[in-house]
A and B are shown apart, each in its own frame.
Chain A
Amino acid sequence: MSEHTVATVSELEDGDRKLIEIEGREIALFRLDGEFRAYTNWCIHQGGPACEGSITGTSDAEFDRDELQTELQWSKEGEVLNCPWHGWEYDIPTGDCLSKEGAKLPSHPVRVEDGDVVVSL
């Protein structure tokens, strides 16, 4: 395993991301709620640049069987990464793919040390 300093903590605000190349691999560093996460920029669908996509929320729905009403909610604002090729959705906090159960973005351990963000590959 190799360790790489990829940013300083103050470089990224909440909601920001930074694309980096480590050992020929494209990695994206995300900052959300003060936490850092690093994922490989590789969509499990067709290999698109998932980590370069828009960051949005997504829709949830609940059906009330008694009232026969479907209620739509916009949720996870700022936490959903959309692959720009075909729109597959990923949850930024966990890397889980919301479009296909059980699928994930490949993730890498991140730690903060003396104001630096260090990614292990």
Chain B
Amino acid sequence: MMSQTAAHALAETTVVDTDVHITVEEEMIAKYLEEPHRSSITDSPHPMFPSSSWDQRMGGKIDDYFSEFTGPEDIRQFQEDFQIDYPIINTFEPLGKFSQPDLAMSLMRAYNDLLLDKFLDDYDFLGLGAVATQRPEEAAAEIDRIGDNEQIVGLYLGTSGEYPPLGDPSNDPIYKAAEDHDLPIVFHGNGEEFMFDFPLHNKGFNNYFEVQSLGHPWQQMATMASVIGEGVPAKFPDLDFVFLEAGIGWVPYLMHRMNKIYRMRRSEVPLLDQSPEEYIRDRFYIGSQPLGEPNRSEDMKRMIETLGADMLMFATDYPHWDFDHLEELDKYLQHYFTEEERQKILYETPVEAFRLPFQQ
């Protein structure tokens, strides 16, 4: 149910959702793996996908929508229920956490094969190619393999468990390949994987409130600081970057802070020939979810203004348990912003960020 005016405005607007996760069961991904990794998943006595043991859904107070979100028809149903015209789908699993590099590489290829086979080849969906960074040259070869497919519109990197931090020059082959194929790099934060990057805090915090408050922004801030600090945008001037799943409030904070530190320590980062803010405003895009909930709605208006309609894009994160409905962002857009700005955020900015093959 929604108000008539809101429903009307939505019907007139084309909406791109930049973060939709398909659920891939272990048995399903096993089918796309070679041995020994296939049996490692199906027959191993130890769990392949480690769990942090936090109870994210609070004993069932929050429903499980993801277990059943496994096929193309589920995406179609979601589009209908949530008024999403173009969902950009990804296979979710953050691959940085895997200690065995050969397993991580096999999983990367398997997720991409599954994405192509089950979702892209027979449907017109748009998807992100999975990238594992444990062996950057192999990851670059994978980008070459899938990167020319028109329905692959970006490269998906989890920002949890990645070592060294993602701006490290060892990852340059990945950025180079992404630039060669004109695909943006999409960084995605994760809650469950907080334990890999922040094991002491994971152990020390007593409830998931604390982990969820910090997990995604810490990962995304570490990634943005590393990428800028190592000069990745200067080395690859045609490469764009997308950050998903940490909301938006952290961006002005870090951007302004990095400006200050850049001016103090310019000689440490001589590859940068612009302020961090200029790189971010020109080439970085931010997904809205999970949008913060200020007690005064004008605070969100100012936050959205600070990012601007050229940087902000809508994301649901469906079917995960902290997803945002479109109205969560749209109530601010409709109330405080012009129709042109709203159209940009919901459609034109993601079309530009992901070079989507539609008319603007």
- A residues with a Cβ closer than 8 A to B are 25-26, 42, 46-48, 53-54, 56, 82, 84-87, 89
Whether A53 contacts B61 in the complex (CB less than 8 A), given A42-B1, A47-B2, comes out as yes
Complex CA gap A82/B321 in Å reads 13
Complex CA gap A46/B1 in Å reads 10
Whether A87 contacts B61 in the complex (CB less than 8 A), given A46-B327, A47-B325, comes out as yes
Complex CA gap A42/B327 in Å reads 13
Whether A53 contacts B63 in the complex (CB less than 8 A), given A26-B1, A47-B2, comes out as yes
Determine whether B172 belongs to the interface, using a CB cutoff of 8 Å to chain A: no
Can you identify 5 A-B contacts, CB atoms within 8 angstroms? A46-B325, A46-B327, A47-B327, A85-B62, A89-B61
Residue-by-residue, is B39-65 near A (CB-CB < 8 Å gives 1, otherwise 0)?
000000000000000000111111100
Complex CA gap A31/B290 in Å reads 35
Q: How far is the CB of B260 from chain A (nearest CB, A)?
A: 36
Total contacting residues, chain B, CB less than 8 A: 16
Complex CA gap A84/B58 in Å reads 11
Q: Is the CB of A46 within 8 A of B328?
A: yes
Determine whether B137 belongs to the interface, using a CB cutoff of 8 Å to chain A: no
Q: How far is the CB of A84 from chain B (nearest CB, A)?
A: 4
> Which chain B residues lie closer than 8 Å to A84 at the CB level?
62-63
Q: Is the CB of B58 within 8 A of A25?
A: no
> Which chain A residues lie closer than 8 Å to B321 at the CB level?
86
- A interface, by DSSP: helix, strand, loop or mixed? loop
A-B pair count, CB < 8 Å, reads 37
Complex CA gap A92/B322 in Å reads 23
> Which chain A residues lie closer than 8 Å to B58 at the CB level?
82, 87
A-B contact sample (7 more), CB < 8 A, given A54-B60, A82-B61, A82-B62: A47-B1, A47-B2, A48-B325, A56-B61, A85-B325, A87-B57, A89-B61
Q: Is the CB of B327 within 8 A of A54?
A: no
A26, A56, A85, A89: the one contacting B63 at CB < 8 Å is A85
Residue-by-residue, is B304-337 near A (CB-CB < 8 Å gives 1, otherwise 0)?
0000000000000000011111011000000000
> Which chain B residues lie closer than 8 Å to A89 at the CB level?
61
Residue of B nearest to A46 (CB): B325
Complex CA gap A25/B2 in Å reads 11
Q: How far is the CB of B211 from chain A (nearest CB, A)?
A: 15
Complex CA gap A71/B58 in Å reads 19
